């Protein structure tokens, strides 16, 4: 319209003062004072595959030397269209009725551990790719939430869970006898599972029937894994998913920061704590 009408006429019609017009025009032409911060937020978000929300991004920015409030990070993420993936609730159920022995709930939702290899939790989760199933069996150390072993298989059989437990037990040092907690799935009630624990001097613990909160930390891990990796990607085959699961767990252990771990990854937290 400025090409067709004089500016004073346009300002009079719009009811805008001349000083107000030039003020806003100068603001639009001025460089964005948050341009560098926006770039830093985007870099952290992208580097972590869109899996970080504003709290973790804030932690990473502070580590990089930025002085910024969490609410500012949240506001910038919204303006940039950076949306962290939200978890969904769906889980594989390994319970198959009354088979084998049931251990007491020794863990009793005490999910903190003051040293490595004191308390472990484990479970099995299911994925579906093109009509085919894939199962993951991780073992987590509650000291730093590190996945110390995991196995992937097309069947939720005894070999799947026993192999992950065997590999975890192989990392123990002399005298370490962890509490190993699971749900009441048939794999954990089988004599082969109990023998592995007994031979290692480990203590078996089980959630109460139908109570997922008794193994909440592992359920939380599965929720993050599925939303950060699985629900927002398409995998051409179960082999491709298995490769992605292995890479995710490597990233989770070595790079993914946790507010519970003082802004460190599990591996970083363990190394820092043991070195202190």
Residues 46 and 164 in one domain: no
Alpha-carbon radius of gyration of the chain:
26
Most distant CA pair in the chain, distance: 91
Residue 137 token pair: 């069996």
| 92, part of any domain | no
Residues 211 and 156 in one domain: yes
| 112, part of any domain | no
User: Average of pLDDT values for 19-41?
Assistant: 78
CA dist., res. 89 & res. 114, Å (int):
30
pLDDT the model gives residue 99: 53
Residue 265 token pair: 């990854």
Is the CB of residue 84 less than 8 Å from the CB of residue 53?
Answer: yes
Residues 20 and 59 in one domain: no
User: Average of pLDDT values for 61-81?
Assistant: 91
Residues 222 and 171 in one domain: yes
CATH code of residue 268? 3.30.420.10
Give yes or no for residue 216 having a pLDDT over 90.
yes
Q: Grade residue 32 by pLDDT with cuts at 50, 70 and 90.
A: confident
Give yes or no for residue 86 having a pLDDT over 90.
no
Q: Grade residue 20 by pLDDT with cuts at 50, 70 and 90.
A: confident
| 131, part of any domain | yes
Sign of CA dihedral 154, 156, 157, 159: positive
Residues 23 and 48 in one domain: no
Residues 264 and 127 in one domain: yes
User: Average of pLDDT values for 12-35?
Assistant: 75
| 103, part of any domain | no
Domain that holds residue 25: 1-30
Q: Worst-scoring range by mean pLDDT, 50-54, 76-80, 92-96?
A: 92-96
Residues 21 and 43 in one domain: no
Of all residues in the chain, the percent with pLDDT exceeding 70 is: 89
pTM more than 0.85: no
Residues 255 and 161 in one domain: yes
CA dist., res. 270 & res. 275, Å (int):
8
Say what angle helices 158-169 and 191-200 make with each other, to 10 degrees. Answer: 0
| 105, part of any domain | no
56: left (phi over 0), alpha (psi -120 to 50) or beta: alpha
Q: Grade residue 91 by pLDDT with cuts at 50, 70 and 90.
A: low
Query: Could you give the number of structural domains in the chain?
Result: 3
Task: Give me the chain's average pLDDT, please.
Answer: 89
* pLDDT, tens digit (0-9, with 9 covering 90-100), for 94-142: 545 555 689 999 999 999 999 999 999 999 999 999 889 999 999 999 9
| 151, part of any domain | yes
Of all residues in the chain, the percent with pLDDT exceeding 90 is: 70
Residues 209 and 179 in one domain: yes
pLDDT the model gives residue 14: 77
Residues 10 and 74 in one domain: no
Q: Grade residue 50 by pLDDT with cuts at 50, 70 and 90.
A: confident
Residues 12 and 63 in one domain: no
Residues 17 and 40 in one domain: no
| 88, part of any domain | no
């Amino acid at each position: 319209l400025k090409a067709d009408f004089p500016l004073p006429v346009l300002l009079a019609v719009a009811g805008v003062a001349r000083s107000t017009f030039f003020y806003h025009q100068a603001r639009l032409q001025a460089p964005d004072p948050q341009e560098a911060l926006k770039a830093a937020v985007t870099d952290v978000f992208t580097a972590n595959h869109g899996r970080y929300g504003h709290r973790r991004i804030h932690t990473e920015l502070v580590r990089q030397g930025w002085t910024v409030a969490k609410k500012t990070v949240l506001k910038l993420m919204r303006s940039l269209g950076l949306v962290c993936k939200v978890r969904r609730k769906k889980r594989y159920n390994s319970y198959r009725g009354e088979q084998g022995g049931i251990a007491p709930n020794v863990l009793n939702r005490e999910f903190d551990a003051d040293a490595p290899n004191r308390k472990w939790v484990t479970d099995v989760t299911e994925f579906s790719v093109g009509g085919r199933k894939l199962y993951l069996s991780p073992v987590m150390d509650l000291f730093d939430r590190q996945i110390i072993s995991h196995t992937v298989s097309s069947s939720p059989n005894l070999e799947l869970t026993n192999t992950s437990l065997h590999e975890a037990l192989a990392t123990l040092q002399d005298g370490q006898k962890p509490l190993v907690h699971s749900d009441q799935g048939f794999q954990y009630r089988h004599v082969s599972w109990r023998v592995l624990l007994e031979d290692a001097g480990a203590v078996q613990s089980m959630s109460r029937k139908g109570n997922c909160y008794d193994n909440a930390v592992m359920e939380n891990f599965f929720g993050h894994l599925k939303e950060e990796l699985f629900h927002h990607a398409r995998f051409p085959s179960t082999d491709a998913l298995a490769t992605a699961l292995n890479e995710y767990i490597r990233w989770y252990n070595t790079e993914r920061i946790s507010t519970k771990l003082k802004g460190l990854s599990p591996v970083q937290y363990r190394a820092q704590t043991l070195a202190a």
